Structure 1
């Protein structure tokens, strides 16, 4: 018997020893997920142990453990790679890591600032290729890079809303000695054109290395690589129940009741920030699409597909309808008051000092809030349908759109 430790998806696979001259056809087929949180399954629960850079499987280490612990890659059993219908695929491996950046494909994540203690994703891919014929690779990269990260973008807009809701501008001058940003986010606050260009260059370099590695290690040289972009968890505008509370909207100073209402619904953000957020999501889509196009030009004959999921959550985004977050496809923003393991679901009755303490917990113990604004288990099931469609529809570009509760995939 031989044992393969798969960091992989954090289980230990026991396989019969292969004959010395095993043929390519003898290898079981595999689908592999590579990339960041939208691929790893962040937000979907069912997180499995993850093998760290030293080869040790890390289970849940406690909420106060360092955020760099491999477990916080949050590789979920509910991730889209496991929810997709993939005829002919015999095994599936989740190598993605929440917070993953282009750097993490060729280099160990922990060798950069705020990286997690896992081996380079391409090294993990090479381990899979020793025992499996890789036929499908799902890639999700671009939302995190050396210029910006999704977590920073999300927290920036949410923090501005919370500060605006609970604290008057004069209180910052009186008690904190200066202003704290309370204005809605603009597109430039999230990522500039120069930052997008830098992020795309990093992503192209990383995925070029992925294709070169696949060419070297894939048993039969036949595989499909799907480049998936990102879907925005928030609507273009909030539903009417979340527009105002106590006759106060979010375009004035202090609106605590409305702030608490939107937090409970999962969308603590200014209405005026929503358009900027969608421009950011569209920018990520362009980044992924252009990455695929560049690599298709460099690697003619390779089966590279772009999967556009920007409309995959239409009608089921946070605060898009009353009753949110119930029935939505994304996780609401949720914080903890310290690394307690208990999420604060309502901010009603908290004063500004308590709100600041709760917000600071996310900064100190990022794992306590990192699921926020990611696809939930139902959302990953939809993304699994999108992946199935991308593989069966054919063509270099596929759009996955949710309409009336039905997921439609096509050109």
Structure 2
């Protein structure tokens, strides 16, 4: 009888030890069946916010481009210290890294061999970065340089203003714009999925970081003063500007929202972010504008390797525009969940309107 009690006691102690071990092993991973986020991303190094994408992220139009991205050896990525990612604030954040490149298509953001202005895959660059950095924030804006070819469309609108005998550029854009946006979506999805795959391979789980997909702001609107609807400012026809602002950019944003939904990224809509602050909207007071007007670098025209880039800055967010986007993004990141639209508040600055309000 005594031996039976001894074995029974040993069995109870062993069971208790197992239960304690299970609690220690699993207790830090769940509470009420829900995973508990780790205190910070895995790995070593400083907490670092990272941006990937095209010209709206690199800082095209914001000036002061880093020397290595302002033409040497064919690199025209035009990354600026005024870009919004350099103004991102996040608890414990020590560094900010901009991997975006002006003109980049989704394929260059994704894993693969596609290059933009001599630079390889941005996702591959991120893979190298996370070896010695911890990344709690990744912001992506890409897609306009794919099937929509937004910059090329703006050029067509400029040609239409120059040639009154030509039809408005919006006539052709209306016919195929939605199909181009539809063709863009899976390319953006792949790029975002590749970024997620890079982080997963580095040991990240979704709770370790915020992944944000941004859309595009309307750089120029229909309310341009007549005296600036020329080569001194914004040479476009009013009907073309109206279609771009009302329909073109809105449809582009809807496509990007689909990509965000398919990849699980948070979506920050900038379609209306520039309302009232578009290029040329300030008239004589250019300081009110958040986008560059038609910009020609005269000093570049005398150099064969730079002449073709003399207009590259035109109709992109300027330094003030990037500061406003950063303000909206910082408040959006603080919310930590859901989608939003950047809209100007009573104070005149951009703030995130949660999706239900924005709709």
TM-score (norm 1): 0.69
1:81 corresponds to = 85
SS in 2 for 1:212: helix
Which position in structure 2 is the counterpart of 1:132? Answer: 133
Count of residues paired in the alignment: 310
Counterpart of 2:155 in structure 1 is 155
Q: CA deviation at 1:101?
A: 0.6
The structural deviation recorded for 1:341 is: 7.0
Give 1:381-400 correspondences, 5 Å limit. Answer: 381-400=323-342
Unaligned runs of 5+ in 1: 1-22, 51-57, 170-180, 243-257, 297-303, 343-360
Contact 1:83 1:381 in 2 (8 A): yes
Select 2:322's aligned residue among 380, 396, 401: 380
Aligned-partner Cα distance in 2 for 1:76–1:233: 18
Encode CA deviations 1:266-300: one digit per residue, 9 max, x unaligned.
Answer: 2210001012212111112111111111112xxxx
How far 1:310 sits from its partner (Å)?
Answer: 1.8
Q: CA RMSD in A?
A: 2.6
Determine if contact 1:44/1:78 at 8 Å carries over to the other structure: yes
Structure with the larger helix share: 2
Q: Distance in 1 between matches of 2:203 and 2:301?
A: 45
In 2, the alpha carbon distance for the partners of 1:233 and 1:59 equals 22
Residue 202 of structure 1, CA deviation: 1.1
| SS of residue matched to 1:227 | strand
**Structure 2 residue ranges without an equivalent (≥5):** 1-40, 355-359
Greater radius of gyration (CA) = 2
Structure 1 match to 2:215: 229
Any idea what the Cα deviations from partners look like across 1:216-244, whole Å, max 9, x if unmatched?
12557611101111100112432xx42xx
Q: State the secondary structure of the residue aligned to 1:119.
A: coil
Query: 2:97 maps to which residue?
Result: 93
Write out aligned runs for 1:12-411 (5 A). 24=42, 26-50=44-68, 60-61=71-72, 69-70=74-75, 72-105=76-109, 106-110=111-115, 115-145=116-146, 147-164=147-164, 169=165, 181-186=166-171, 188=173, 191-218=176-203, 222-238=208-224, 241-242=225-226, 261-263=228-230, 266-278=233-245, 279-296=247-264, 304-323=265-284, 325-335=286-296, 339-340=300-301, 365-404=307-346, 405-411=348-354
Kept after mapping to 1: 8 A contact 2:59/2:82: yes
For residue 316 of structure 1, report the CA deviation from its aligned partner.
1.2
Q: List, as ranges, runs of 4+ consecutive aligned residues in structure 1 with deviation greater than 6 Å.
A: none
Aligned with 1:185: secondary structure? helix
TM-score by length of structure 2 reads 0.79
